[in-house]
Structure 1
Amino acid sequence: MFRLPTTLCVLLLTSMADGEALELDRDLTDLCFICSCSADQTTIDCSRRGLTEIPDGFSSQVQKLNISNNDISVFPANLNKFHNIVSLDLSGNQLTAIPENALHNLSALEELFLSRNYFDSWISLNPNDVFLPATSLKVLDLSYNKFRTMGNLANLELIISHSLETLILEHCEIDSLHGRSPLSGLTNIKVLKLSFNPLVRIHSLISSTLKTLDVSNCALSRINHNELMYLPSLVYLKMSHNYRLELSASAYNLFSDSLRYLDISYCNVLQPNLQGFPNLRRAILNHNMIRFLRSNEFENNTMLEYLDLSYNNIGSLKSDTFRGLTLLKYLDLSWNEIATVPQDTLLEMPTLTQVKLSRNYITNVGHLKSNSVTILDLSLCEISSIGVDALEGLKSLVDLDLSRNLLSHVPDGVSSNTLKFLNLNYNRITFINNYTFFMLPRLTGLSAIGNRFTAIWKRSYFDSNPYLERLDLSDNMWRCDCLDVNMYDFFEYVTLEPSKKEESYNLICNSPMSMYGQTWLSACYFIWNPTAKTPNPDSLIWFITIMIVGLLTCLLLVNCIRRSTQRRLAAIQAERERQVEEARDRLRQLRMRAEQEALCNTPDPRDLIAPPSYDEALTMPKLNASCHSLNETGSGKTRRKRGRRKTKSSGDLLEETERNGDVPVGGVELTEISDDGRRANRPRRQISRYGSHEVAELEQSPGARRRRMSEYNAEFNEPNGDVVTVEVQAEMERPLRPRLRRYSNDDGQPRESDF
């Protein structure tokens, strides 16, 4: 054998670890496409995916795994690799059994949810062995299965777990507890929930650590007096909604020194029978059949702080019924049949702060006494009268509710130095006066909604209540008299800032009929504000006149604006037409100038034809007679004298000009210079007009100019040797010749054809 170097071994191990990590990351990535993973991949949710088994790709770092509501029928065998898992949810599947080594290596598991499966017997769970490897298991949920019973397994413990604290067995169709204690194997059990089972009797429950027992919504009918003796740590007992349950009234009452919270509401309890719970702090006995309370009923419950006896049939109270409840703070006696309350009843509870006596048959509020009550509810009690000294004995009363009773008046001089909130809603009170609230100096809020007040209150009624902040007066039968100064004064007192006590829209007039349904403000606005008074007939006529004048003024103004607009539009149209006409004139001038320039720049056709050669000239026919124009060739007519012609053609004008030695002035000025330097005196000729043509325009072609110059040179070169020099001065720009417009005889307007 050969030995590899240490460095090479380390590299090989590192590469193998990296390969496994990459493979694991790839598997986790594939898994997260199927399930929902957290960012750190410690929480994976695969619920409601239709899975039949746990998919591959999970790593050991997973702490919370939820695979509930799937189609898994066999308990997963590969869970033992999740040694860091804390919470495992397999509820809502099709499991029927759990293997013995199912939780092997799951030492960190704290919560296991197996509810809503198909477990039908305890043996299929292997309860004696399966939970032992999970040394940190605290919560086990087996609800919504069908165990049907909870007993021993051939003299073996039902469930063995030294760490389990909460066992949930709700909706498991358990109807009996028998044999050895099913809790003896749970040495650390604290919470047991057996609610919603057809359980008839609690039997053989033995546990020194159990603190909470929930057997509500079962079928319990009675509990033996010693059933709770084997639960020395029991603190919370809930037995509500057991409709046949009765507490034993014999000498052997239900007993528990450790019980603090007891809920036996919605049962068939005829007597409280709480003497066996000396440390009870909270007792809920509502919705039962308790008909009367005996003297010293709760003398052994000296630690009681909260007592709810509402919704029973209690008909009367005795002055010593609650004797011994020195720590009681809350007492609820509402919805009973109590007719009278003895005046010393509340004195037996020195720490009582809140009392609810609503929905009873107390017709008269007598002289109650209490040094600690701050909230007293006497609503819905059919109270028709209140004693003048009814509140004097309540030294600490702050809130008094007398709503929905039959009170027709509040006696004068009802006194309380501590009362702040008084509720008189929905009674039959018709009036108050200056002395009604005179003895309530601390009154802060007064509510009198839904009574039968008709006369408007006065500000002086509350002169002795400087702290009054809220006053509710809606839904009353106010008779509005807008001319009454008191009504306006009280309205300002109630609705104006800064001491606003009521909204103005809550004050509604009920009479007279002309004001029915209107608010005080809308009904009396014009009377309280004379400047905004409704106009009389004379002012109405003036108003109509002013409206007519204003309407006519508006019509005139509109007409003027319309005419001004029309004139403006007409001026704009005329200006537009003028601009169009000017544009047309400019176009005509440009077109005429272009035609003139085109005519001036047109070359002479004779210049375009090359002169004939000598041979061609010999072969050309000879003319029989001389003529000045080719147009006269062969005509056979003699030319008339020039003096008799009134018009001349351009060719004749050229011949005459050449013969007389004159130079046309059409942009070129010709001057003769003799040899001795003297200027020849030759008269200047202006261009004559011949018909509608200008000869100068016809003679401006380059060929005509060259021919004239050659003729002038030949003529001026005389035999005596005198040389004539011709100076030609060209005009840079020849102005257009003004043209006369011709007008027709009918309208004298220029036409397009005239141009």
Structure 2
Amino acid sequence: MNSYPLSRFSSLESLQELYLDGTCLTNLPRYTFLSNKRLTRLSLNDNQLTQAALSAIALDLGPSLSFVDLSNNSIESLRIPGNNKIKANNTELDLSGNSLRSISKLDLVGYEETTALTLHLNSNNISVIARDSFSKMKSLHLLDLSKNPLCRRLHAGKDGAGCPALSNLTEGLGMAGTQLTNLSLSKIRWKADRLDLRMMNMLGRTGLEVLIIQGNSIGGVGEGALGNMTKLQTLDMANCNIKEFSPLAFSKRNRLRNFNLKGNKIQNLSVLDLLPKLKHLEFLDISGNGLGIQKPYFAIKKCTSLQILNLSKNRLPPKIMFHDLSSLKTLHLNSVVDRKGGFNLIDLTLKNMTSLVNLTFEFNNAYLKCDLKNASIFSAVPSLNTLSLANNSLGQTNPAILKKMFKNLGQIWKLRLSGNGLVELPLGMFDDLVQMTDLHLQVNQITTLPAGIFNKCKKLAHVNVENNKIISISEGVLWAILPTSGGSLRQLDLSGNKWTCDCDIRWFVHWLRNTRVLLSKGKQEHCNLPSDLRQLKLVDFCPAWIECDNHLLHLTAGLTSSVVAITLTSYLIFIFRWDIKYAWVIRKTRRNARLRNGYVEIPDERYAAFVSYCSKNTKWIKDELLKNVEESDDMGAPLRLCIYERDFICGNPIVDNIEEYMNQTTRVVFVVTGDSLQSRLCDHEFKVAQNKLFEKRITSIIFILHEDVDKKTIPDNMQTMMRHTTCLCWPENGTMRQKTVFWKKIRLALLR
């Protein structure tokens, strides 16, 4: 589209922000934004607008406008056509990526009435700046001229005076006494043997707080070069090819807080002599300078304001000490020693650094060799929450030392141990790291993770074990940190390991199929061994059950258990055989029996049995036999016995009573004692019972041996009958259990 009609925005009087990026605009006619007096932010980047757009913005928009983005258009000059001026009080104008070539005093007339102006002119083609261009720009707050070829026309001289555009800029800013606080001159092709003292003095008049000149070529910074810049708080001189930096470059009144000397060529220790003079310094980066310190030790002490220090990519001595840096929070010491000889971490001394929270010591071929009592080398930094020891040689450390190395680090959140050649992780190594959330163990030689290694790390959310030689992970490794067990694990990186698809990996495969934990390659891990399964994904590995279980062992265990169970059952059945048999008969009797006069009725029988005994045993008959047979309630109703003292009819001959009452039952119980064997009445009862047995009117005869009887005194015919009928011995002195079994046998014999 070429332009917007007047009516496009006229009704949007309350509009505050408008973004028309990448809409192919080529023109902004006057009155386009006349009704948008409340507009504070206007973005028109990546269009094809020309210088005329500046006029429309200056004429139409009110003092509330604070930001205008005209970057990446086709504007060739800063000059606002028609001598128009921007009326906004506090304006930020972004003209980066246009076609600006020069800056003159007339170009900036339209910006003089703003109370605070920010100009982004980076990435243009500016190579000419008139001497008086900024003479009236007192309201200029920030100026960004980075990535412009300001110094391409002439080669630099000894002090940089060969760059007229830069000289004119600094002189104009200094003479105008601007409010400039931020100046960026990075990558402007500035080449000088030394930092120009006059230019820095002129900039010192502006009250400059931030100066960025990185990416140029400045051979050195001499004495007093920055002495007039007493308000400077941030100085970025990274990648400026600086070889010398005088310790007297700053005045004692300096307020410098942030100092970046990264990627220069300062090889002597003089730059560190600056530290005592920079009493407000909070950030210092001198990494990548190739410092070559010849002393046997290196020490930085008592810099109480320093919070961030980066000494990476230098060459420090084999003993490194940091003392009393009470405010230091971040320390970077990557690639600071000769990797060929290695570095013993016992030679890294950290004392009274209670604020240190971030320590990186990477690419130093470091290991720990010391006595076990001195292994807790980080005990002086109790607040440490990020520790990176990646790409060292901790694999050479004794496992017992390695286990104690991380003691007293209960505040650690993130631990990086990747690239250390670790083969094993001693159990208990991470037990003190109860706050740890991130653990990086990738690119080591670990073959297995011991069960319980993460038991104390309940907050562990991310574990990276990529590119090791792990063949399997058991349930005991991850159990404590899984969400299902109260853990916090959310991401597990596993790729590049040597998974062996055998029976030992079955639990891990099952877990992979069902887990919701984020995996580095999803569920695409493949088997490594055996070789014929290398194209198979772990989640698809499902071995046959017969391949994985020890069936001979299981079968042996099963058979043994069966034999033991059968033997035990048989033994119990034998011990309790009468109880079992009695219970079965009782249950059967309960189901089929009927009651008559309160006793169990046996079909065609009045009595359950006829009892033959000697009168001398009457007491036992009444106290034991009747009580346990007739008065027992096991069946719900007792069995009735026939005894002559109670049941015979008085007046009838005894012989007739015996005949009559024995006919009313099919069972006879003989209580055998020495006296009964001598009794004529008992002998008569036996003979009657014997005759009725032959006549099949009696079906069962039960002998109770009430006492020990000499076998010779027992008649032969009775002995013969005893061998073919039930014969029980009364346990006179037996246990309660023996007597209970005896009565159950009697009742069973009576119920058959």
Please report the TM-score for the alignment, with normalisation by the length of structure 1.
0.52
1:102 to 58, 79, 83: 83
Counterpart of 2:423 (choices 401, 408, 413) is 408
2:395 is matched with: 384
Displacement of 1:32 after TM fit?
Answer: 4.1
Q: Is the 8 A contact 2:11 2:35 kept in 1?
A: no
What's 2:331 paired with? 331
* Compared CA separation, residues 343 and 422, structure 1 to 2 (3 A): farther
Q: Which residue, 188, 192, 195 being the options, matches 2:186?
A: 195
Contact 1:260–1:282 (Cα < 8 Å) also in 2: yes
Aligned equivalent of 2:442, options 396, 400, 425: 425
Write the mapping of 1:688-699 to structure 2, written as runs, cut at 5 A.
Answer: none
Partners in 1 of 2:388 and 2:174 — Cα distance? 46
1:269 correspondence with 2:266: yes
| 2:118 paired with 1:139 | yes
Letter matched to residue 280 of structure 1:
L
Q: Aligned to 1:122, which of 104, 116, 122?
A: 104
Q: Does the alignment pair 1:40 with 2:12?
A: yes
8 Å contact from structure 1 (residues 296, 324) kept in 2: no
Q: Does 1:369 align with 2:396?
A: no
**Matched residue, 1:205:** 203
Whole-angstrom CA distance in 2 between matches of 1:399 and 1:490: 26
- 3-state SS, counterpart of residue 211 of structure 2: strand
What amino acid is the match of 2:104?
W
Name the aligned partner's letter for residue 215 of structure 2.
Answer: N
CA distance in 2, matches of 1:141, 1:392: 49
CA distance in 2, matches of 1:78, 1:503: 52
Q: Following TM superposition, by how much is the alpha carbon of 1:300 offset from its aligned partner in structure 2, in angstroms?
A: 5.8
Paired residue type of 2:210: T
Match of residue 607 from structure 1 = none
Which residue identity lines up with residue 231 of structure 2 in the other structure?
S
Tell me, in whole angstroms, the C-alpha distance in 2 between the residues paired with 1:190 and 1:165. Answer: 6
2:304 is aligned to 302
Q: Counterpart amino acid of 1:110? A: T
- Check conservation: 1:333, 1:358, Cα contact below 8 A: yes
Residue 260 of structure 1: aligned partner: 257
Cα offsets for 1:112-148 (capped at 9, x unmatched):
56664556463554x6x7654x143422455566764
Q: Which residue of 1 aligns with 2:544?
A: 526
Distance in 1, Cα, partners of 2:538 & 2:86:
81
Distance 1:75 1:398 in 2: 52
SS state at 1:342 partner: helix
TM-aligned CA deviation for residue 345 of structure 1: 2.0
Deviation at 1:318, TM superposition (A): 3.0
1:248 to 2:250 alignment? no
Q: Is the Cα contact below 8 Å between 2:10 and 2:34 reproduced in 1?
A: no
Please show how residues 506-521 of structure 1 align to structure 2 within 5 Å: 509-513=527-531, 515=533, 518=536
Letter in 1 for 2:74: G
The residue identity in structure 1 corresponding to 2:446 is I
Aligned to 1:222: 220
- For 1:144 and 1:520, the matched residues in 2 are separated by 52
Counterpart pick for 1:177 among 150, 164, 167? 167
For each residue in 1:630-652, what CA deviation from the matched residue of structure 2 results, as whole angstroms up to 9, or x when unmatched?
A: xxxxxxxxxxxxxxxxxxxxxxx
Query: Structure 2: how far apart are the matches of 1:149 and 1:113?
Result: 19
Task: Name the SS of the counterpart of 2:301 in structure 1.
Answer: coil
Tell me how far 1:73 sits from its aligned partner: 8.3
Kept in 1, the 8 Å contact 2:480–2:487? The answer is: no
Q: Which position in structure 2 is the counterpart of 1:611?
A: none
Shift of 1:173: 1.0
In structure 2, the CA distance between the partners of 1:185 and 1:429, relative to structure 1 (3 Å rule), is same
Q: Distance in 1 between matches of 2:89 and 2:252?
A: 39
Partner of 1:395: 409
Contact kept in structure 2, 1:261 and 1:282, CA below 8 Å:
yes
- Aligned residue for 1:283, secondary structure, equals strand
**Structure-to-structure mapping, 1:603-618, within 5 angstroms:** none
1:136 touches 1:163 (CA, 8 Å); kept in 2? yes
Aligned-partner Cα distance in 1 for 2:119–2:544: 77
Tell me if the contact between 1:469 and 1:500 (Cα under 8 Å) persists in the aligned partners.
Answer: no
Please give the alpha-carbon distance, in whole angstroms, between the structure 2 residues aligned to 1:191 and 1:56.
Answer: 34
How far did residue 416 of structure 1 move?
Answer: 4.0
SS of the residue 1:165 aligns to? strand
Once the 2 structures are TM-superposed, how far is the Cα of residue 266 of structure 1 from its aligned partner?
A: 3.0
Per the alignment, residue 16 of structure 1 pairs with none
Distance 1:142 1:60 in 2: 29
**3-state DSSP of counterpart to 1:197:** coil
**AA in 2 matched with 1:195:** S
Contact 1:119 1:145 in 2 (8 A): yes
CA 1:293/1:394 → structure 2, altered by over 3 Å: closer, same or farther?
A: farther
Give per-residue Cα distances to partners, 1:244-294, cap 9 Å, x unaligned: 124515555687732222223233333553414221222233343234497
Q: Distance in 1 between matches of 2:188 and 2:521?
A: 55
- Tell me, what secondary structure is at the counterpart of 2:245? coil
- In the superposition, relative to structure 1, how do residues 34 and 314 fare at CA in structure 2: closer, same or farther (>3 Å)? farther
Match of 2:234 among 231, 236, 242: 236
CA contact (8 A) 1:97 1:119 kept: no
Query: Residues 60 and 348 from structure 1, CA distance in 2 versus in 1: closer, same or farther, beyond 3 angstroms?
Result: same
Deviations 1:155-186 (A, max 9, x none): xx942234331233331515342685623414
Alpha-carbon offset, residue 527 of structure 1 = 0.6
Q: 1:167 maps to which residue?
A: 143
Contact (CA 8 Å) 1:73, 1:95: kept in 2 or not? no
What SS is found at the alignment partner of 2:351? helix
C-alpha change, 1:149 and 1:303, in structure 2 (3 Å) is: farther
1:130 and 1:313 map into 2 onto residues whose CA distance is 50
For 1:702-735, what per-residue CA distance to the aligned partner results, in whole angstroms no more than 9, with x for missing partners? xxxxxxxxxxxxxxxxxxxxxxxxxxxxxxxxxx
Name the amino acid aligned to 1:177.
S
Identify if the C-alpha distance between structure 1 residues 168 and 207 changes in structure 2 by more than 3 Å, giving closer, same or farther. same
Amino acid in structure 2 at the alignment position of 1:136: T
Larger Rg: 1
**Closer, same or farther in 2 for the Cα pair 1:61/1:384, shift >3 Å?**
closer
For the residues of structure 2 that align with 1:162 and 1:57, how far apart are their CA atoms?
Answer: 30
Cα deviation per residue 1:30-84 (whole Å; 9 max; x = unaligned)? Answer: 9842796464367798996555x96578748657787985455899699678775
Unaligned runs of 5+ in 2: 152-162, 552-752
CA contact (8 A) 2:245 2:266 kept: no
Higher strand share: 2
Secondary structure of the residue aligned to 2:227 is coil
Query: Do the aligned partners of 2:298 and 2:316 also contact (CA within 8 Å) in 1?
Result: no
> Is the contact between residue 262 and residue 284 of structure 1 (CA under 8 Å) also seen in structure 2?
yes
2:386 maps to a residue whose letter is I
Measured in 1, the distance between the counterparts of 2:305 and 2:546 equals 63
1:353 partnered with 2:347: no
Give the whole-Å Cα distance in 2 for the aligned partners of 1:57 and 1:411. 73
Contact 1:282–1:304, Cα closer than 8 Å, also in 2 = yes
SS in 1 for 2:446: coil
Unaligned runs of 5+ in 1: 1-29, 534-755
Q: Secondary structure at the match of 1:138?
A: strand
Answer whether contact 2:298 2:317 (CA < 8 A) is retained. no
Q: CA deviation at 1:240?
A: 2.4
Equivalent residue, structure 2, for 1:452: 469
The letter of the residue matching 2:135 is: I
Instruction: Letter of the 1:369 partner, please give it.
Output: F
